[in-house]
Every structure is written in C-alpha cells, then in structure tokens.
Structure 1
Amino acid sequence: MPENSAERRSDQPPSNAAAAFLSRDFRRYQLARLLVIIGAEAQSLAVAWQVYQITHKAIDLGYTGLALFLPGLLFILPSGHVADRFDRRSVILLCYGLQIFCTATLFLFALHGMRSVLPIYIVLFLIGTGRSFSGPASSALLPHLVPKEHFVNAVTWGATVFQIANISGPALGGVLFTLPLAHWALAHGLVAHLAGAPIVFLFTLVTLCCFLVLVGSLSVRPGRMEHRATSMAVILAGFHYVRRTQILLGSISLDLFAVLLGGAVSLMPIFAQEILHAGPRGLGLLRAAPALGAMLVSISLTFRPIRRRAGARMFTCVGIFGAATVVFGLSKSLPLSMAALFVVGASDMVSVVIRSSMLQLGTPPEMRGRVSAVNALFLGASNELGEFESGLTAQWWGAVRAVVIGGIGSMMVTGLWATLFPALRRTDRLTADALLEAEREEATKEVRQL
C-alpha cells in the first residue's frame, strides 16, 4: 500500500521546533487528544474521589486501576491485530463511541447517588476495553500524520499535549467537583445534586463528542497494513519482535517495573485528605504537578531534542523518578509534595519521549499495531496494575510506607536493568537507521556468543 501523503518529505527543515504542526491532520488529532485527555483526567479524579468517599478503603482505589488494566491483558492479542488489520482511524472512532456510553452511565450513577462500587468497576472495565483497542491503533496512526523526518518532533509534541491535558484535567476536575451549583441549579429548575461528580462527567461527555468530530474529519486513511492471512503466528508477531529486539524489550520493561513500583497516583486521594488535609482541590493540584513538570520538559525537548546518549539519559531519569517518589512519600507539606511530583513528571517525560521514539522508529509499519499492543500491555501494567499494587501495599503497610518502598524499588530496578540491557544503555541517536544498526550489532554479538 502506498505511503500516506503526510509521510512524503517536507520542504521544512527537521530543526524547526514546530515542524510536526505543518501537517493538518496532526494539528487536528492533537487538538482532539488535548480535549479528550482533559475530560478523561477530570473523570478519573471524580471516580477516584467518589470511590474513596463510598468505602474509605485504599484497596478499593487499587481496584479501579485493576478494572482498567484487565481488558488490556485479556485483549492484547486481538487489539494489536485489529490495529494492523483494519483502518486505524475507524477503530479509534468505534472505541471512543464506547467511551461515550460508559461516561453517560457514570453520570447516571452519580446523579442517582450510587452507593455501591461494583457497578462503577464494571463501567471502568468497559472503559479499559475501549482503551485496549484504541491505544495500539492511536500509537500506530501517528507515523501516518507527519513526514518521517518530523516523527520524533511529533512524538515530543504529542507528549507535550498529553501533559498539558494532564495538568488541566485534574485541576479542572477538582474545580468542577467543588463548584457550588446547588443554588444555581434550583434557580434554573435543574437537579440540585448536579454538583460534584455529575458535572464532571457531563464535561467529559462534551470532550468525547468533540474528539469524535475532529478525528472523523482527518483525511488520513492508513487502511489495512497486514495483508497476510490471520494465523496465530501473525497475531503473536508483536511479542516475538519485542522479545528478540533487546532495545525495545529493555526500554518497555524498564518502564513497567519502575512505574509499577514507584506509581503513587492512585493513593493521592489518601495523601490529599488524610496526610496533607487539602481536599479535592488539593488532589487536583497533586495530580497536576507531575504533568506540569513533564510539560515543561517536553516543551524544552522540542527546542533542544535528545541527539546523543539517549539510553544513558533514560536510565538517569528513571533513577531520578524513583528518588523523587521517595521524597513525595515522606513529605507532610503540600508545596514540597507538589515539588517532588513535579520532578517525578519531568524525569518520566524524558524516558517517555525516548521509549516512544524507539518503539515506532524501530518497528516496521505493518507491525506497529501489534508491537504497540505489547507496549500498551506493559504501560497498562505499570499504570493501572500499578494502582492496584499501590492500593494493596497501602492496605498492608500504610500509604506512606507503600510509596517510599516503591520509590526505592524503582531505583533498584534502574540499576539492575542497566546491567541486564547494555545495548539499551549504549543507545545513542534516536533515528531509524541508528536503532536498526544497534539492533544488528546486538544480534551479531548474540550469534558470536553462541
């Protein structure tokens, strides 16, 4: 199949810090992502606060992450295959149609004062199902939106957009959650208990509808990338490719274990209410702090991209991530906690840009969906399963000990992975040619050792 027109070379030099935005489809897609992630982050805050207010148990916050993660584990094989077998844009639209149904259901639950968490978990499982299919399709769609020479710039700007939304979403969710709407609602003949979670879910519905309109207007039509007949070998190709490519395996698994151990997002309602005494708005500030750090770093990377020593920089920043997590766990001050989370987000962003660039540049176009599905499983394990792990360990040891021990674990994993994956540590430039050459050198060494 011929490459999309966006993949032809541009007259604009790659050094342009905003080169990716020369593509119309890239601009529209990033605007759509900005809106929908803001809505999703606001919704996530509302769900976490709602669940904790119903049960007041850390483990129940962990179950919210588990409900989102399980679909990614169950559907990893079909989701990657679907992303390579069907038009990736159509897959994304269908999945976000399911998200609209789920958010509308959460709105009705909140409006009627649902006092059981089980129906909420069921809806979260459906949301996770949509994400498990849309994630690989979205990741594999990005290379079709920009010329090849602008891809790293597109990844960096995509990460910037994501972090802007991560800042805005939780903060906006906290503000919407605490708006005094009861008197306004009564004056306008509306339901008085619209305040709180229901208004947040309504806002998320609006962002989802805008997302569908913008993505539906994209001109890109990647079509079917995998033309071989469906077989177990074809479906498992993504696993085999990652397993034999040490740079990809090392970078993805490093993120898995570092974030799995060091993640503290799911415990933020506990820190906000019981340790920092900051309430929902304080929770919004805590959720926004790492996104602010990540956003500033990602903007910096658009002007000063990572040109050399990518692997070494990645390991350094993951170690900093673990150390900052320890500081957050020990903090009793809201400003210090926000500063620690700022560093968490800033250090994590460097590894995100490096890992995402390695993932797409080091993978053939016809396999990007399946390889992205493997990556999505690892990301889901590190984020959603990490939330369950945090909730479980907080139930055993308390929130502070859980976060501190997890941060120490992240630093230990960083040192271990630097030893186990020397090819990743030695990775220099983030270009397709450099990554392929590094893979060939690693394969040659393995053959010689045999």
Structure 2
Amino acid sequence: MADALHPLRPHPFRIANFRAYWLSRFTGTIATSAMSIVIGWQVYNLARQTMDVREAAFLLGMIGFAQFVPLFLLTPLTGLAADTYDRRWIVRATTALLLVTAGTLGYLTWVDRLTLPALFGAAVSFGVARAFAGPAYSALAPNLVPRESLPTAIAVSSIAWQVGTIAGPSVGGLLYAIHPDVAYATSTALFAVALAFMFLIGPVPQPPAQTDHRPLARIAEGFRYVRNNRLVLAAITLDLFAVLLAGATSLLPIYARDILHVGSQGLGLLAAGMGIGSAVTAVFFSVRPMKSNVGVKMLISVVIFGVAILTFGVSTWFPLSLAALIVAGGADMVSVYVRQSLIQLHTPDAMRGRVSAVSQLTISASNELGEFESGVMASFLGPVGAVVFGGVGAIAITLVWARLFPELKLARTFDPPDMLQTQPQHGEPKL
C-alpha cells in the first residue's frame, strides 16, 4: 500500500477525472450485466415455449453471435476512431445508444409486444455500442493517471467492471422476478447515471489526430504491433482460445431452469458467480499489485479456470456450481490483469486505441463467439457435455501455449526493460 501512497504514484481515486471514469464504468456495467441476463432469460423462456432444450440452447448461442458480428466488423475501425477522436465523446455516444436500447426493450415489455426479433435487434445494438466503447474506454484510462499509477488503475478499473458483473446479474434476476418492467427501468436509469458521470470528465491529453489519409495502413499498424510483440500476442491469444472453449455463461439459463432448478433468482446468483471471484481478485491486486513471475502466474490461472469450468459442468448441486464459478472468475481475473497490464504498458499512447481494439476483438471472439460455440456444442453434446468439453479444452490450450510461447514463462515483471529475464540469442535454442 505504501507504493500507492507515494507522491509519484498517487492512487487513481485521488484524481477527479478517474473517479468520474470509474463511477461511469461501474454504473454502466451494472446496467449492461442486468440487461444481458434478462435478455438471455427472456430468449430462453420464449424459445422453450416451442422448442426443446437443445434447440433453445442453440438460440441462446445465436444471441452471442448477434453481438459478435458487429464487433468483428467494426472493431478495427473503432480502434482507429479511439486514436483519432475525443475518447470521452465516443463513450458518451455509445452509452446514449445503450440507454435508448434499454428504454426501447422496457417499453416493448411494458406493452407486451416483446418478440425474439426485438431481442436479437437489441443484441446487435449492444454489439455496435461495445465495439466503439471498448477501445475508447481502454485507451482513455491511461490518459487519466500517471504512468506509475497505471497498474493500480487497471486493477481498480477492473473492480468497477467486476463488481458491476456481480451486482448487475443479481439485480437483474431479482428485479425480473418482481416484474420485467422494473429490471429494464433500472437499467435505463443506470445508463443515464453512467452518461452523466462521463460528462464530468474534463479535458484529458490525447495524441493529436492523424491526418495522413492512410486509415487502412494505420489500422494494419495496430495488428502488426500485436503480431510482432510475441509476449502481448501470447497473452491475448491464450485468453482468446481458453475462454472461447470454456465460456459457459450463455448456458446459465439452461442450468438454472433445467439442471439446478433454481429459477430466475438462482440464475442471478450463478451469473454473478464469476464476477464475485473476479472482484475479490481485483481488489487484492489494487492493494497488492502483481510484481513477479507474471507470465507463469497467468498460465497457472488459466489451468485453474479450466478445472473450475469442468467442475461446474458436472455439478448438479447449486452451492458447488456457484463455488466453481467464483473460482473460475478469480482465475480469469488474473489472466485479465496480466493481459491488460502488458497491453497498456507496452503500447505507445498514439496506438493504444488500435491495439486495444485488437485486444477487444479477441475478447469479443472469446466471449460472444464463445457463447455461440457453447450453444452449438450444447445442441450436439447437450449442455453438460458442452461445458465439460470446454473445460478440458482450456487446460489443453494452456499446455500448448506454454510450449509455443516460451516468452510467457520468461516474463517476470510488467516493466518493459525488465520484462524478460533472459532473451534467447540468435542461434540459441528456445526453452
């Protein structure tokens, strides 16, 4: 804690702009998480009126795919936008879009005219908003704090997101049990609060807008940077494939309704499970930032993540299922913390938007496309078979990446000059 109080390393919460940023992200994440769980629950319930479990599971996967498509198509351009335009205004515009989307779904629910096409349209709108907001949010944080405070800022910012993922699903599930209108009204109000906090952020330094009229070349530059920095590439792709295979969040409505039999209230707790583990881990890192053996710790955490998902897949006891998700969330937070710290500390500010966009693209592929993969696998193997397959796959991917990218095992600290304890010389065998 002494480092956080050092005059050259002020705690991020001492900076007014960062406080507004944190509160905006916190309230916006609660609203987004609440809406996501409610949308999934409504899609599954509507589908189960005419479909069996496997067909409804496939439809849940398609919700993830509907969010991934705009993210995949727009992310390269949104990274360029975050390096060209005022990042605050990008976040403000996307938050306004989410506010309108939540309000629209709330109105359709209120007048009893909500349909599957409307829910899929909302998923696409979410994908568009997140495509623009993700790189802008990620690139904005380093502009708000001194470089020395950035690892702590990443952990604290993650707390906003992870605590939001705890509160959001729980609040969404409980409010939906009261009445769906209440859940949507609450989300709409929280998006309005998030937008208000974003307007409280004053001017921040940002790289001057590029006017070289070579947008495609600048987009490609971000991809080349990630490709050429093997340590960053390893961290990003390990998270991509592990979560792509082992993502189980899209199948939670199936577990809540047809396997664990806990209803919408239990669904809210299950959806909050990973966020609980992630938030506890993020709080720990905000007080005691990781300083040594960061690469090895990331590899171990992904293996633990796979084991926890495997345990959740075979469990039919609600307390064990919830505990497994909490452990999975804590392990995933270690991976997120290492990956984000590497990206932010190893990327020039003028490229942070584009590199963050590449990172977001892989995260979206692992999350939304992972939901699609889970739904498709569940339609063939059943929900339990799909989750077990994913957990085993995450463990296998980690072992393969440890061999393909020895840079991960050699990574000692986040400081770029001291990142690798030893670098293989030309002609020397790699470990």
- TM-score class, shorter: over 0.9
Pick the aligned partner of 2:187 from 183, 204, 213: 204
| Distance in 2 of aligned mates of 1:220 and 1:445 | 47
Q: 2:82 maps to what in 1? A: 83
How far off is 1:234 after superposition? 1.3
How far off is 1:224 after superposition? 4.5
Q: Which stretch shows the higher mean deviation, 44-53 or 218-227?
A: 218-227
How far off is 1:61 after superposition? 0.8
Instruction: Provide, for residues 290-309 of structure 1, a one-character-per-residue CA deviation record: whole Å limited to 9, x for no partner.
Output: 11111111111222221110
Q: 2:305 maps to what in 1? A: 321
Aligned residues with identical type, % of pairs: 37
Cα distance change of structure 1 residues 41 and 66 upon mapping to structure 2, 3 Å threshold: same
Structure 1 residue identity aligned to 2:300: T
Tell me if structure 1 keeps the 8 A contact 2:105–2:114.
no
| Distance in 2 of aligned mates of 1:75 and 1:299 | 33
Instruction: Provide, for residues 266-311 of structure 1, a one-character-per-residue CA deviation record: whole Å limited to 9, x for no partner.
Output: 0000000101000000001101111111111111122222111000
Q: 1:12 maps to what in 2? A: 7
Cα distance change of structure 1 residues 220 and 10 upon mapping to structure 2, 3 Å threshold: farther
Structure 2 residue identity aligned to 1:374: V
How far off is 1:446 after superposition? 8.7
| Distance in 2 of aligned mates of 1:310 and 1:32 | 29
Structure 1 residue identity aligned to 2:79: G
Pick the aligned partner of 2:338 from 354, 361, 374: 354
| Distance in 2 of aligned mates of 1:224 and 1:149 | 19
Output the TM-score relative to the length of structure 2.
0.93
| Distance in 2 of aligned mates of 1:10 and 1:85 | 34
How far off is 1:228 after superposition? 4.6
Tell me if structure 2 keeps the 8 A contact 1:310–1:354.
yes
Q: 2:29 maps to what in 1? A: 37
Tell me if structure 2 keeps the 8 A contact 1:225–1:365.
no
Please state if 1:274 is matched with 2:258: yes
SS of 1:398 mapped into structure 2: helix
How far off is 1:10 after superposition? 9.0
Pick the aligned partner of 2:245 from 261, 271, 282: 261
Tell me if structure 1 keeps the 8 A contact 2:244–2:366.
yes
| Distance in 1 of aligned mates of 2:38 and 2:407 | 42
Q: 1:341 maps to what in 2? A: 325
Q: Which stretch shows the higher mean deviation, 406-415 or 117-126?
A: 117-126
Tell me if structure 1 keeps the 8 A contact 2:90–2:133.
yes
| Distance in 2 of aligned mates of 1:321 and 1:445 | 35
Tell me if structure 2 keeps the 8 A contact 1:86–1:224.
no
| Distance in 1 of aligned mates of 2:423 and 2:209 | 28
| Distance in 1 of aligned mates of 2:304 and 2:208 | 39
Structure 1 residue identity aligned to 2:387: V
Q: 1:312 maps to what in 2? A: 296
- CA RMSD of the aligned region, Å? 2.0
Q: 2:159 maps to what in 1? A: 160
Instruction: Provide, for residues 314-335 of structure 1, a one-character-per-residue CA deviation record: whole Å limited to 9, x for no partner.
Output: 0000000001100000000000
Instruction: Provide, for residues 401-449 of structure 1, a one-character-per-residue CA deviation record: whole Å limited to 9, x for no partner.
Output: 00001100000000000111111221110124334x78x947x649999
How far off is 1:353 after superposition? 0.6
Q: 1:53 maps to what in 2? A: 45
| Distance in 1 of aligned mates of 2:115 and 2:427 | 55
SS of 1:277 mapped into structure 2: coil
How far off is 1:97 after superposition? 1.4
Structure 2 residue identity aligned to 1:265: T
| Distance in 1 of aligned mates of 2:302 and 2:426 | 27
Tell me if structure 1 keeps the 8 A contact 2:143–2:206.
no
Instruction: Provide, for residues 327-375 of structure 1, a one-character-per-residue CA deviation record: whole Å limited to 9, x for no partner.
Output: 0000000000001001100111111111000011011100000001100
| Distance in 1 of aligned mates of 2:403 and 2:58 | 34
How far off is 1:113 after superposition? 2.5
| Distance in 2 of aligned mates of 1:342 and 1:149 | 31
| Distance in 2 of aligned mates of 1:94 and 1:445 | 49
Q: 1:6 maps to what in 2? A: none
Matches within 5 A, 1:68-79: 68-79=67-78
Tell me if structure 1 keeps the 8 A contact 2:61–2:250.
yes
Cα distance change of structure 1 residues 75 and 447 upon mapping to structure 2, 3 Å threshold: farther
Output the TM-score relative to the length of structure 1.
0.89
How far off is 1:13 after superposition? 5.4
Q: 1:214 maps to what in 2? A: 197
Instruction: Provide, for residues 164-216 of structure 1, a one-character-per-residue CA deviation record: whole Å limited to 9, x for no partner.
Output: 1111111111110112xxxxxxxxxxxxxxx22x2211111111111111111
Tell me if structure 2 keeps the 8 A contact 1:290–1:346.
yes
| Distance in 2 of aligned mates of 1:385 and 1:210 | 30
| Distance in 2 of aligned mates of 1:283 and 1:103 | 20
| Distance in 2 of aligned mates of 1:332 and 1:384 | 25
How far off is 1:261 after superposition? 0.4
Q: 1:431 maps to what in 2? A: 415
Number of corresponding residues: 419
Q: 2:360 maps to what in 1? A: 376
Q: 2:139 maps to what in 1? A: 140
Q: Which stretch shows the higher mean deviation, 373-382 or 105-114?
A: 105-114
| Distance in 2 of aligned mates of 1:354 and 1:327 | 25
Tell me if structure 2 keeps the 8 A contact 1:144–1:220.
no
Structure 1 residue identity aligned to 2:357: A
Please state if 1:385 is matched with 2:369: yes
Tell me if structure 1 keeps the 8 A contact 2:260–2:317.
yes
Please state if 1:247 is matched with 2:231: yes
Instruction: Provide, for residues 130-154 of structure 1, a one-character-per-residue CA deviation record: whole Å limited to 9, x for no partner.
Output: 1101110110001011111000000
Tell me if structure 2 keeps the 8 A contact 1:136–1:372.
yes
How far off is 1:230 after superposition? 2.9
Q: 1:27 maps to what in 2? A: 19
